[in-house]
Amino acid sequence: MSERERTDLTDPTWWRDAVVYQVYPRSFADGNADGIGDFAGLIDRIPYLERLGIDAVWLSPFYPSALADGGYDVDDYRDVDPRIGSLPTFDDLVAAAHAAGIRVIVDIVPNHSSDRHEWFRAALAAAPGSAERDRYVFRDGLGEHGELPPSDWVSHFGGSAWTRVPDGQWYLHLFAPEQPDWNWENDEVREDFHVTLRFWADRGVDGFRVDVAHGLAKDLGEPLRSHPHVNSMDIEIDGTNPLFDRDDVHEIYRGWRRVFDEYDPPRTAVAEAWVPTSRRVLYAKPDELGQAFEFDLVKAEWDAAQFREVIVDSLDRARTAGASSTWTFSNHDVVRHASRFGLPARTDLNAWLLTDGAEPAEDVALGARRARAAVLLLLALPGSAYVYQGEELGLREVADLARDDLEDPIWLRSQHTEKGRDGCRVPLPWTTDGSSFGFGGDGAHLPQPGWFAEHAVEAQDGTEGSMLELYRAALALRHRLLPDQDLVWRDSGPDVLHFERPGGWHVVVNLGSTPAPLPAGEVLLASAPLADGLLPGDASAWIRGSDPVTG
């Protein structure tokens, strides 16, 4: 019997230390060779995920969508985009994943729908002031003829957050115009999301990732309060901001928790909330979503002091919330970390993308070394870990996508001042040749560069020292060695992190360039060969210590 066959799918605490693999469905594997990843392709690759050793998959949106924002513009929350599959193929996917001991998390997008959602179409067809319009945020404009937007609110993707409709009213969209914001003061909206959560939970979904969890509740009292900027990390922390992280949003999640708890085991959730760290804990409370993403490792530079501070603070927050921490280096919204860590500290990533990755030059070998070291940190920390598809292949950002190929609305909406997020969403390479490197068909929806060949699964499978084999080895060891949520810090040099997990298991990460001594014991895994028993710079090791545990 494999490890996976022993997975207990009824365990209500599974999420606390789960390794969750993020699938961006349109870019994972294409089963019918039309250039777009789909459930058939994903089902075929379940054995790959099982062999990798992850505990759950999180599926970015697969719902019917015009793809104005990569599927985060949802036409129908209770269906599958026909290009990706159907409800029966979704059921097949859940069954195949569960049979392999892999749980399934789906993405819920509650701040906004798409402009093709049935209720938005009804709102447009109905008159100002109607019940249909009340499900969204419609307002008359300012100015003599209502020709000015109702407030100074701005969209995340650039420009005003208001778009005018033919009868003269304006609707709110904190993201693209194709993503109208729901009015969460409307009871029908609240109830409909409960219906959606139950719809997927009834189909066997184990958990939910909640998009823009700090949005939803807004202060819509007249006159609308000024808020002319978008950075939700930089807002007042008393819960009174008109648009983000309002105290009232938590009541919504307490309602969702009651829905999750109707199931056995209770369904889980993780908040995507880009808010000041002190507030993140609120979303993770057990009577709300249960977990909140920690994005601090995404933002941190390759620096021991920064990493240590992030780890200490995040663990502290998780403890306060009664949750467990969530660690991640990459996702579909950020430059891949194999590239980030190969660029000089404090590189402006947006400016770098605009040079197509030419300036400053990326140190590819350094980024790869650090990405190897990073995964041994990620998977050694107490709590759950999120792995973004392709990082196990050591993929870097595809920084030189041609302007004409870009799909991200950021490119257009920023008036071509930001290239956006497509460079981390390029379809995966499975084989070393073929026109789409085994992704499927003749072409992928975003073009893959030639260097993807050396990162293909085929090139790394069974290859000693490959990134894929490092991830597999680390995940296999983690299953054996991580019984609980504690770590104890050990003394180390300023560029080195050294902590011990129960069972005498030491984790040493050398973020400097001087080789560092290791504690006595058996080296279970190292991201780079040791030199004279020392851990080289930009490397990590897991050691089973020979001294008894003291922590």
Which one of Ca ion, ligand NOJ, none is in contact with 162 (Cβ closer than 5 to 8 A by kind)?
none
Interacting residues with ligand NOJ between 94 and 133 (CB under 6 A): 109
Planar angle of CA 110, 115, 116, nearest 5 degrees: 105
Helix, strand and coil content of the chain, in percent to the nearest 5, comes to 30, 15, 55
Q: Which one of ligand NOJ, Ca ion, none interacts with residue 30, CB within 5 to 8 A by kind? A: Ca ion
Cβ nearer to ligand NOJ, comparing 36 with 468: 36
Our answer to whether residue 222 is catalytic in this structure is no
In three-state secondary structure terms, 120 is helix
Q: State the number of binding residues for Ca ion (CB under 5 A).
A: 5
Provide the greatest CA pair distance for the chain. 79
Q: Which residue is nearest to ligand NOJ (CB)?
A: 72
Sign of the torsion angle spanned by Cα atoms 227, 229, 230, 233: negative
Least spacing, CB of residue 92 vs ligand NOJ, in Å: 26
From the list Ca ion, ligand NOJ, none, which binds 333 (C-beta under 5 to 8 Å, kind-based)?
ligand NOJ
Residues 271-300 that bind ligand NOJ (CB under 6 A): 272
- Contact between 211 and ligand NOJ by CB under 6 A: the answer reads yes
Cβ closest to Ca ion, residue 38 vs residue 296: 38
* Residue 456, contacted partner among Ca ion, ligand NOJ, none, CB below 5-8 A by kind: none
Q: How far is the CB of 230 from ligand NOJ (least distance, A)?
A: 12
Tokens, residue 90 = 């979704």
Check binding of 333 to ligand NOJ (CB under 6 A): yes
Q: Is there a cis peptide before residue 360, judged by omega within 30 degrees of 0? A: yes
Beginning with the edge strand found earlier in the chain, give each strand of the sheet holding 162-164 in spatial order: 138-139, 170-172, 162-164
50, 211, 272, 391: the active-site residue: 211
Distance CA(350)–CA(338), nearest Å, equals 16
154 three-state secondary structure:
strand
Contacting ligand NOJ within 472-531 (CB under 6 A) = none
Which among Ca ion, ligand NOJ, none contacts residue 18 (Cβ within 5 to 8 A by kind)?
A: none
- The catalytically annotated residue of 3, 262, 309, 316 is 262
Query: Would you say 448 and 437 are in contact if contact means Cβ atoms under 8 Å apart?
Result: yes
Is 245 a binding residue for ligand NOJ by CB under 6 A? The answer is: no
CB 107, min distance to ligand NOJ, A? 8
Question: Which residues are CB-neighbours of 407 under 8 A, at least 6 positions away?
Answer: 67, 70, 422, 425, 445, 446
User: β-pairing, 162-164 with 103-108?
Assistant: unpaired
Q: How many residues in the shown chain lie near ligand NOJ by CB under 6 A?
A: 10
Give the footprint of ligand NOJ on residues 58-87 (CB under 6 A): 69-70, 72
Neighbours of 287 (CB within 10 A): 12
Q: Is-catalytic flag, 185?
A: no
Decide if 328 contacts 310 (C-beta within 8 A). no
Tokens encoding 453: 């060949």
81 scored as a contact of Ca ion (CB under 5 A): no
Contact 241, 235 (CB under 8 A): yes
Q: Are strands 268-271 and 207-210 parallel, antiparallel or unpaired?
A: parallel
Q: Which does 212 bind (CB under 5 to 8 A by kind): Ca ion, ligand NOJ, none?
A: ligand NOJ
Of 109 and 395, CB closest to ligand NOJ: 109
At 510, list the tokens. 């050398």
Contact track, Ca ion, 22-61, x by CB under 5 A: --------x-x-x-x-x-----------------------
CB 115 within 8 A of CB 176: no
Q: Report helix, strand or coil for 321.
A: helix
In the set 28, 58, 175, 327, which binds ligand NOJ (CB under 6 A)? 175
Active site residues: 211, 262
Applying CB under 6 A, the residues found at the interface with ligand NOJ are 69-70, 72, 109, 175, 211-212, 272, 332-333
Which residue ranges make up the site for Ca ion (CB under 5 A)?
30, 32, 34, 36, 38
